[in-house]
Amino acid sequence: MNEEERKKTLAEIEVKRKELDTLKSKLNELHSQKEAWFEKKRKATQELSDVVRTIREAKGKRNTFTKQVKDSKQRRQELNTLLKDKFDEMKMLQKEKQEITRKFGIHVDPSRIQQEIEKLELSIETEALPFSVEQRVMKRIAEKKKLLDQAKEVSDVFEKIHLLSKEIDKTRKKADESHRKVQTKAEASQQFHEEIIESSKEVKELRAKEEEALKNFVEWKTKYNEQNDLVRAKIDEINELRGKIDGIDFAEKKKVKKEEEMKIVEQKRSVEEKIKKGLKLTNEDLLAFQAREESAEREGRKRRQRPARGWEERGEARKAAEHKRKEVPAAEPKAKQPAKEEAAPEAPEERK
């Protein structure tokens, strides 16, 4: 390649570098849009996960309270049944009491008579009563003792009624407590149930939001990949021109790279077909996009690892040889050497 052809090639490289800058600028814009939608999708997915976890916890608590309500209702029913039996027993005792009191003419509980006797005796022992008053109290005690002797015939019935009455009061308190537990736990269960209903509505909204974000992400991802193809193609054009200057057979390398790209394009085509048909994308489909990005990133690393000094050293060697051959006092101003092209900016590693 003579000097004229070399200058022409360098000028063509400079033009393509400007075109590459424009393509890269557009690529960065698409990358920002793509990542923005991916972030929205990620947030929606996280929010959805949080709500689902809240629903799961609420269901667990609701079910616990529902079971406790069921158990409390069963206990309440048992107590109410027991209470009914005791009321039936009380009716029988009251009937027996009425029959005995009619027979013996006693209408007072013997235990109450005994309490009155003890009270009167205590007054005599502890109080300084006048003799006449004390005589009257003694007379009343005698009368009540006589009545108590007669009441012994019905004392058993009165005692049974007294004990049964205590049992009824105790059972009624337990039944009332069980009823309050049923109401309290039923309210708690209902509260969690309503929370589940509201959260379920939120799940539907978040799923729609997530699907919309994913759809937009895929669309911008597709545009990004198409733009990235243009960037890489432009870099290939520049490197091919450099290859001519450096004497590198770029065509063979491009052929190998093209074969690799065709495999990835085939995977991409499968994903795009799913998008057109409205099918849901799987992790494997997203990995197809990732494979495309990783391939481009590997190519970029290879280019960056190529020794940057090679071009400069060869340029200096040619310059020295030309000066020596022509023996001119001053060298012709050397055309500006283009900096080694960097690989196209690649998308960050895709999230799974």
Per-residue pLDDT averaged across 80-103, rounded?
84
Q: Which residue has the higher pLDDT, 217 or 257?
A: 217
**pLDDT reading at 239 higher than 60:** yes
* Domain contains 58: no
pLDDT in tens, 189-202: 888 888 888 888 88
Cα(135)–Cα(158) distance, rounded to whole angstroms?
31
Q: How many domains does the chain divide into? A: 2
Q: Mind listing the pLDDT tens digit for each residue in 40-52?
A: 999 999 999 999 9
Is a pLDDT exceeding 50 seen at residue 326?
Answer: no
Instruction: For residues 141 and 215, state if they share a domain.
Output: no
Mean pLDDT for the chain overall? 77
pLDDT interval class at 311 (50, 70, 90): very low
Whether 311 and 222 map to the same domain: the answer is: yes
Q: Write down the residue that tokens 């450099």 correspond to.
A: 242
Residue 129 placed within a domain: yes
Same domain, 27 and 115: no
* Mean pLDDT in residue range 223-228: 94
Average pLDDT for 62-67: 88
Checking if the pLDDT of 39 tops 90, the result is yes
Q: Which domain holds residue 121?
A: 110-151
Last residue of a domain, one of 151, 180, 200: 151
Q: Is 158 exposed, middle or buried (0-12, 13-18, 19+ CB in 10 A)?
A: buried
| Residue 319 structure tokens | 């310059």
pLDDT, tens only, 11-33 = 999 999 999 999 999 999 999 99
Tell me, yes or no, whether 230 lies in a domain: yes
Distance of CA 136 to the CA centre of its chain: 87
CA–CA distance from 37 to each of 28, 221, 280 (Å)? Answer: 14, 10, 17
Most confident range (mean pLDDT) of 39-43, 293-297, 342-346 is 39-43
DSSP for residue 211: H
Q: Where does the chain show beta strands of DSSP type E?
A: none
Has residue 115 been placed in a domain? yes
Q: Pick 250 or 172 by higher pLDDT.
A: 172
